[in-house]
Structure 1
Amino acid sequence: MQIQSSYGDEQAGKLYLVPTPIGNLEDMTIRAKKVLQQADYIAAEDTRTSGIMLDRLGIHNKMVAFHKFNSKEKAPELIKLMREGAVIAEISDAGMPVISDPGFILVQECIKNDIPVVPLPGPSAFATALIASGFDAQPFTYYGFLPRKSSQQKPYFEQMKQAMATSIFYEAPHRLVKTLETAAAVFGPDRQIVCARELTKIHEEFVRGRIQEVLDHFQEVAPRGEFVVLVAPATEAVQALSWDDLVKLVQELTEKGVSKKDAIKQVAKENKVSKNELYDRYHQK
């Protein structure tokens, strides 16, 4: 067991996790700005992007690049600095550090080395989209960025199809239509979704509707900006077995002496499918 106290010796090294605005610079908190001004180093996912933002905020502390391509090599260097007393503030390109960036590696190393980790609250694109989506916010599942290939996305969409929770993922504009096509193939045309883009910026937009409607929209209007995609929860348990599997269950019951009528009724009830639909499919065999 480990107990961490973040507010002990002010001279000791520590790691601050500092959220940055996802669009509107006015969303930077007073505390976040103060921590960045006082930190010895700012570990940034993209020093160019973050440099522009920090310059606008009047913050010119030394930056260190810390991203997915150098995180394993860079983490020991940052740990050494903090063990020597340095205060490091980690920031993402936008939003919360660690979420969809390699910050968790540095957090894990700090915990291993008994270096305090101090999280600051702040903006997050998926949480911002969730509260305005119109979907139930409890529970929800956040997937980050999905794999790019359709074949690799399908298992995720199968999970979302069954989920009794709002499902959330990020997508780039040039992949949005293809991803929605794959999702529609799994969910069917009627599952409700929301695509939110350019959150907190002047072109902020929420596109809500049935998945086929939203797909049709973006096939006509080219997607622009980074997207948060939210999928409505399943309203009830979704059929887990194929129709062929359900027909086999009916056949197994009839072979045990159960009448066809009772077998169809039982299988339909247990799997929450239409009795009439199962009857038709059984007699097509």
Structure 2
Amino acid sequence: MAAKKGTLYLIPTTLGESKPDWVIPAGVLATSRRLKHFIAENERSARRYLKAIGTEHPLDDLQFYILDKRSKAIDVPRLIAPLLQGVDMGLISEAGLPAIADPGGLAVAACHQNKIKVVPGTGPSSIVLGLIASGFNGQEFSFHGYLPMNKKDRLHKLRILENEVRKTGATQIFMETPFRNESLFEDMMNHCSPGTEICVATDITLQTEVITTHTVDEWIKHPPKIDKRPCMFLMGVSC
């Protein structure tokens, strides 16, 4: 008889300094509190989050297995070893939902390959929250993650996204590291058509949250305050 395997729980976290019980359901928090083994991108921030929600175990008893941008598929068997031995684990994100714009998908794929149950937890996603608050097409959309750092390549990508909106009406979603927000915004203002609609979603779920949709022409007249603040950018057509 095959040994019983553990379950991988996908543990959402807050998008910033908001209270966990404001944005994460009680059942998900309860599951997160009882687990002792976690796959995490950063142990320090994972410990901080688990301390904030009140884990049932002493912090020193928690076990962390690091899966970050430097990890490769060859590293994953070691990470999921407790699951194969019947131990439940949590895959914890740096912000929001795991496996979206973070390396957690490697662990999830390995679980499916090894017939390990995967349970996603409900929590905040800046991608989805930005989309539903934008007024853009929520039926067809694409998420592109971070645009290229090279300016020439970034401008080329922006032209592709703008053309895709015109051709299909599908919403295009992308992001940037906070300290490069202003540079990306300036590129859109200088190179996108005046009538192109852009939504800037800043500090999603925080008390300082601002989500606004304008045309490029309107944004030039009323630029947002986005320097070093987490943002999601959307390009689309208002419904």
TM-score by length of 2: 0.84
Q: Does 1:13 align with 2:6?
A: yes
1:31 to 27, 48, 52: 27
* Structure 1 residues 89 and 222: CA distance shift in structure 2, 3 A: closer
Could you tell me how far 1:160 is from its partner in structure 2? 1.7
1:86 is matched with 87
1:41 is matched with 37
Pick the structure with greater CA Rg.
1
Alignment of 1:196-215 (within 5 A): 196-215=201-220
2:132 is matched with 131
Q: Which amino acid aligns with 2:5?
A: A
Are 2:180 and 2:228, in contact at CA under 8 Å, matched by a contact in 1?
no
* Structure 1 residues 58 and 47: CA distance shift in structure 2, 3 A: same
Q: Does 1:194 align with 2:199?
A: yes
Q: Does 1:176 align with 2:181?
A: yes
Could you tell me how far 1:189 is from its partner in structure 2? 2.2
* Structure 1 residues 10 and 182: CA distance shift in structure 2, 3 A: farther
**Secondary structure of 1:183 counterpart:** helix
Distance 2:113 2:183 in 1: 42
**Secondary structure of 1:133 counterpart:** coil
* Structure 1 residues 63 and 215: CA distance shift in structure 2, 3 A: farther
Are 2:3 and 2:86, in contact at CA under 8 Å, matched by a contact in 1?
no
2:63 is matched with 62
Are 2:12 and 2:124, in contact at CA under 8 Å, matched by a contact in 1?
yes
Could you tell me how far 1:234 is from its partner in structure 2? 9.1
Q: Which amino acid aligns with 2:230?
A: E
Q: Which amino acid aligns with 1:158?
A: R
Q: Does 1:53 align with 2:57?
A: no
Larger proportion of helix: 1
Q: Structure 1 unaligned runs (5+)?
A: 1-8, 236-285
Distance 1:10 1:150 in 2: 53
Would you say how many aligned residue pairs link Structure 1 and Structure 2? 226
Could you tell me how far 1:213 is from its partner in structure 2? 3.6
2:237 is matched with 233
Could you tell me how far 1:17 is from its partner in structure 2? 1.1
Q: Which amino acid aligns with 1:30?
A: A
Are 1:180 and 1:215, in contact at CA under 8 Å, matched by a contact in 2?
no
Q: Which amino acid aligns with 2:80?
A: I
Are 1:36 and 1:42, in contact at CA under 8 Å, matched by a contact in 2?
no
Are 1:110 and 1:116, in contact at CA under 8 Å, matched by a contact in 2?
yes
Could you tell me how far 1:134 is from its partner in structure 2? 1.9
Could you tell me how far 1:128 is from its partner in structure 2? 0.9
2:107 is matched with 106
Query: Which structure is richer in relative contact order (CA contacts within 8 A, separation 6 or more)?
Result: 2
